[in-house]
Amino acid sequence: MSLLPFKNKVPKINSDCFVAPNSMVIGDVEIGSLSSVWFGTIVRGDVHYIRVGSSTNIQDNSVVHVTSNKYPTIIGNNVTVGHSVTLHGCSISDNSLIGIGSVIMDQCEVGEWSIVAAGSMVKPNTKIPSGKLWGGLPAKEIRDISEEEKDWIRNLSNHYVELSKQYLSI
């Protein structure tokens, strides 16, 4: 794991987090309890801040950045950020799932218990209401999410908490 201070801001990572050895966490970043940052991921809080809640996983080869001195990136609790996702100056509420390869742009807000489908691009300033599935290029509302999908979100978060504990024990 590489923690890189920037402009006197040192990343604050909870001691029970797993941060993969080849990932980078830079600058004004705080990551909560039982969260994980997976292989090849960059979390770059150099020109604004990034906050990641508890039991959140940011999977392999993702990029989390900010908008220069304008918009931080805030990721809530129990969030799954799929492989190769780009989050840029946006806010992701608790218990959400951002699908593999998605891009969430500046000033977007993803509501609680929402899913952004794999490969989607959420345009700047988009507000995704709670409990919705969005997808496409550009992303649009598809439907309400189901109780089964809420269970899936819970299970994904729990799975990555348990997997990260296994990595921490190596």
In the predicted model, what is the mean pLDDT of residues 96-105? 98
pLDDT over threshold 70, residue 140 = yes
pLDDT over threshold 90, residue 170 = no
In the predicted model, what is the mean pLDDT of residues 137-151? 98
In the predicted model, what is the mean pLDDT of residues 77-104? 98
Domains in the chain (CATH in brackets) are 2-168 (2.160.10.10)
Query: Virtual CA dihedral for 27, 162, 166, 21, nearest 10 degrees?
Result: -20
Q: Give residue 1's pLDDT.
A: 61
Pairing of strands 121-122, 103-104: parallel
pLDDT over threshold 90, residue 46 = yes
Q: Give residue 120's pLDDT.
A: 98
| Res. 2 pLDDT band, cuts 50 70 90 | confident
Q: pLDDT digit string (tens) for 68-78?
A: 889 999 999 99
Taking CA atoms, 132 is separated from 32, 57, 99, 110, in Å, by 25, 20, 13, 9
C-beta separation of 65 from 85 below 8 A: no
Q: Give residue 9's pLDDT.
A: 95
Alpha helix (H) residue ranges in the chain:
147-168
In the predicted model, what is the mean pLDDT of residues 102-126? 98
Name the β-bridge partners of 64: 43, 87
d(CA 138, CA 127): 13
Name the β-bridge partners of 80: 57, 97
pLDDT over threshold 70, residue 131 = yes
d(CA 141, CA 111): 12
| Res. 136 pLDDT band, cuts 50 70 90 | very high
| Residue among 95, 73, 116, 98 nearest 158 (CA) | 95
